[in-house]
Amino acid sequence: MTELTFTKIRAEWAEVLEHIEHSSFPTADRADLYQVDELRSLAEDFPEGTVVVLDGDTPVAMGLGIRINFDFSQTQHSVRDMMGADGGSGHVADGDWYYGTSIAVLPQYRRQGIGRKLYDMRKQICHDLDLAGIVAGGVIPGYADHIDEMSAADYVNKVAAGELYDPTLTMQIANGFEARGVIADYIRDPAVGSWASLIVWNNPDYSGRQT
């Protein structure tokens, strides 16, 4: 493996980034995942909010997101509600929260610290742009093994308490995120009943008011 570099999204990488997205969420409905045209729109609208990891010249991982206004009294939403359905990015230029639309590392590049670095870089983006923090729907792939035993809310509580391990949520909590309950029908994914967790990180240096 050559040295990894970290840079911003470019429209010319849309196809390979779509491949990273689709191979990272293999049981999810593709219609709920990033498509090439949306990745091109994101490269146009908010490149400074993105990170693409290159091995040589080839993208192997990405951390993508948009600015939004988020109503914490109405947390139920789908990823499509945020990204839109018109091929756009969903980016709201004066939104005060960073909404994490995707963090994805190609399977053969995992467990080397890339994911942690992507979460750290997202936090840095919030500092640099003076955003309130990060909010996202977090997929809970480990729930597939418990779906017949417990509700998604119980599962998320047990992962947050450290009683169960989830390949994604455990790592997000270890990176300073708080699990604030569950979201129904976030990304259509029969393996987990389409459940996700709502994860939030507050920017301690934000100059405005947080929830």
Ligand X SMILES: CC(C)(COP(=O)(O)OP(=O)(O)OC[C@H]1O[C@@H](n2cnc3c(N)ncnc32)[C@H](O)[C@@H]1OP(=O)(O)O)[C@@H](O)C(=O)NCCC(=O)NCCS
Chain residues binding ligand X by CB under 6 A are 24-25, 103-105, 110-116, 138-139, 167-168, 170-171, 174
Nearer to ligand X, 88 or 141 (CB): 141
Residue nearest to ligand X (CB): 115
Q: Could you tell me the smallest distance in angstroms from the CB atom of residue 136 to ligand X?
A: 7
Nearer to ligand X, 59 or 115 (CB): 115
Residue type, 20: I
> Residue 138 — left, alpha, or beta (φ > 0 → left; ψ -120 to 50 → alpha)?
beta
Q: Could you tell me the smallest distance in angstroms from the CB atom of residue 110 to ligand X?
A: 3
Nearer to ligand X, 130 or 165 (CB): 165
Give the span between the Cα atoms of 83 and 183, in whole angstroms: 16
Q: Could you tell me the smallest distance in angstroms from the CB atom of residue 8 to ligand X?
A: 18
> Taking a C-beta distance cutoff of 8 angstroms, is the pair 166, 125 a contact?
no
Nearer to ligand X, 111 or 209 (CB): 111
Q: Could you tell me the smallest distance in angstroms from the CB atom of residue 94 to ligand X?
A: 25
Q: Could you tell me the smallest distance in angstroms from the CB atom of residue 165 to ligand X?
A: 7
How many Cβ atoms sit within 10 Å of the Cβ of residue 2? Answer: 9
How many Cβ atoms sit within 10 Å of the Cβ of residue 28? Answer: 22
Q: Could you tell me the smallest distance in angstroms from the CB atom of residue 145 to ligand X?
A: 15
Half-sphere exposure (CA, 13 Å, Cβ side) for 198? 16
How far is Cα of residue 54 from the mean position of the Cα atoms in its chain? 19
Nearer to ligand X, 112 or 211 (CB): 112
158 three-state secondary structure: helix
- With residue 115 as reference, give the H or E element that holds it: helix 114-129
> Taking a C-beta distance cutoff of 8 angstroms, is the pair 78, 33 a contact?
no
Nearer to ligand X, 25 or 46 (CB): 25
